[in-house]
Structure 1
Amino acid sequence: MKTEQEILAATAAYVEVLLSGEGSGHDWWHIYRVWNNAKMIAAQEQVNLYIVELAALLHDIGDHKFHNGDETVGPRMARDWLLKCNVGVEETAHVCSIIGELSFKGAGTSSEMKSPEGRVVQDADRLDAIGAIGIARAFAYGGHKGRELHNPSIKPVLHNSFGQYKSSTAPTLNHFYEKLLLLKGRMHTETARKLAEERHRYMEGFLKQFYAEWEGKI
């Protein structure tokens, strides 16, 4: 029987092979950063660190964005891996539940997490969606999907359902208003809220610069 640390090491190696070289901003290094964020946040919370680490490592192995919007792929892939590693039934169910609940579902919808472990992982993932890295990832994903950088005639939409949010093909800049600028106010933990403040300010500065350059003012 493998120890928890052996299972975590095997999981990290599995995910690294699976996602290395991915070009949309959902690669191994995204996982690595979220994993580190999650451990840092968890150190200040009363949570099961093993569950937090497994969920952070596996949270994007079957992202719905790359499987025609199918939200069941990620939890199913995670379950298959965890069962292969002989992780307990309850632990597997907990990790898969976190993965299934994690995604942002639109400005007008709720993305509540059922457990403190889930809240830690969601905060860790959301931190990687904002700030300098969040900006880089947004445009990497937009380019991957063939989206415009910005189109002033296409206004942001505060989606009222996950279906609307998933089907959006709007320019990348709209994503700041439809998701990224909202995340600071949707963090669960005090640690994440503090880190989000600086990252949020950086995005605001980026947008100010972007519009000034777009209009030829600087």
Structure 2
Amino acid sequence: MAEAEVLAAVRQFSQSKMGDDETGHGFDHIQRVVGLAERLVQAYPAADRVLTVTAAYLHDVIDEKLVTDTAQASEEVRYFLKQQGFTADQIETIFLIMDNMSYHKTLDGTAKPLPLEGQLVQDADRLDAIGAIGISRAIYFGGHFGEKIYDPAVQPRTAMTHAEYRNLNNETIINHFYEKLLTLKDLMNTAAAKQLAEHRQQVMLDFLSEYKAEWNAEA
């Protein structure tokens, strides 16, 4: 099967799985991550473009916070990839990326080293979590789960475990910026992503400064 046909099938599969998401991880997010991954892969021609784009399309399809039965979701993805002609080694690489790129993996130290393709997808995913888009997604996600927007008396959590990170009862939307989003710039794998992250980081810092000034009726 031709590369374009394979990626078209992967795109359709991803859209069928993520099209109804209401947490900020919908197919619009997927498309942006793919676009960013495509942009990054141009700077790193050693990366396999098909594996990079495929992993970008599928990176949230088996995510524990979005899928009730991750084992079943994984089996569906494996079967689908096999049907598209991916080899066993390619499928394992794609799953290595999907299983080890999430932020929570950095909290418990269980993440395995990512190949270059995985580093590009991880960078693309993290870039979409910051900046103006990141701000809107954080608010959208927190609102979906009924999080409090802001409480100056509640301090951002530090040195979180995986379980604490997933406990939204102890988080506010604004604190999420300090607990995670503002840390992502320094976690980028590639120089190209680090450069893109600089501006997006400043957008968030400016937002937080303005938000707190308005909260305190100073602006």
Task: State whether residues 78 and 91 of structure 2, in contact with CA within 8 Å, keep that contact through their aligned partners in structure 1.
Answer: yes
Q: What do residues 121-140 of structure 1 show as CA deviations (whole Å, max 9, x unaligned)? A: 00000000000000000011
1:200 is matched with: 201
TM-score (norm 2): 0.91
Query: Do the aligned partners of residues 77 and 162 (structure 1) sit closer, same or farther apart at CA in structure 2, a change above 3 Å counting?
Result: farther
For residues 58 and 157 of structure 2, the distance between their equivalents in structure 1, rounded to whole angstroms, comes to: 30
Task: State whether residues 25 and 60 of structure 2, in contact with CA within 8 Å, keep that contact through their aligned partners in structure 1.
Answer: yes
SS in structure 2 opposite 1:66?
coil
2:127 is matched with: 127
1:21-40 equivalences under 5 Å are 21-40=20-39
Task: State whether residues 123 and 188 of structure 1, in contact with CA within 8 Å, keep that contact through their aligned partners in structure 2.
Answer: yes
Shift of 1:86: 2.9
Q: What do residues 135-179 of structure 1 show as CA deviations (whole Å, max 9, x unaligned)? A: 000011001111111122221112342232123431111110111
For residues 73 and 146 of structure 1, the distance between their equivalents in structure 2, rounded to whole angstroms, comes to: 28
Code of the aligned partner of 2:167: S
Query: Do the aligned partners of residues 24 and 160 (structure 1) sit closer, same or farther apart at CA in structure 2, a change above 3 Å counting?
Result: closer
1:9 is matched with: 8
1:5-154 equivalences under 5 Å are 5-45=4-44, 46-67=46-67, 75-105=74-104, 109-110=108-109, 111=111, 113-154=113-154
Task: State whether residues 63 and 73 of structure 1, in contact with CA within 8 Å, keep that contact through their aligned partners in structure 2.
Answer: no
Query: Do the aligned partners of residues 173 and 76 (structure 1) sit closer, same or farther apart at CA in structure 2, a change above 3 Å counting?
Result: farther
Task: State whether residues 78 and 96 of structure 1, in contact with CA within 8 Å, keep that contact through their aligned partners in structure 2.
Answer: no
Q: What do residues 41-79 of structure 1 show as CA deviations (whole Å, max 9, x unaligned)? A: 1111121111101100000113211236x7656644432
1:155 is matched with: 155
Query: Do the aligned partners of residues 8 and 74 (structure 1) sit closer, same or farther apart at CA in structure 2, a change above 3 Å counting?
Result: same
Query: Do the aligned partners of residues 157 and 76 (structure 1) sit closer, same or farther apart at CA in structure 2, a change above 3 Å counting?
Result: farther
Shift of 1:105: 1.5
For residues 113 and 200 of structure 1, the distance between their equivalents in structure 2, rounded to whole angstroms, comes to: 25
Shift of 1:106: 7.1
Q: Which runs of 4+ in 1 moved over 6 A?
A: none
Shift of 1:18: 2.4
Task: State whether residues 108 and 158 of structure 1, in contact with CA within 8 Å, keep that contact through their aligned partners in structure 2.
Answer: no
RMSD of Structure 2 on Structure 1 (CA): 1.9
Task: State whether residues 129 and 137 of structure 1, in contact with CA within 8 Å, keep that contact through their aligned partners in structure 2.
Answer: yes
For residues 81 and 188 of structure 1, the distance between their equivalents in structure 2, rounded to whole angstroms, comes to: 29
For residues 106 and 206 of structure 1, the distance between their equivalents in structure 2, rounded to whole angstroms, comes to: 28
Shift of 1:194: 0.4
Alignment pair present for 1:186 and 2:187? yes
Code of the aligned partner of 1:50: V
SS in structure 2 opposite 1:64?
coil
Query: Do the aligned partners of residues 106 and 54 (structure 1) sit closer, same or farther apart at CA in structure 2, a change above 3 Å counting?
Result: closer
Aligned residue-pair number: 216
Task: State whether residues 34 and 56 of structure 1, in contact with CA within 8 Å, keep that contact through their aligned partners in structure 2.
Answer: yes
Say which is worse superposed, 75-84 or 128-137, in terms of deviation: 75-84
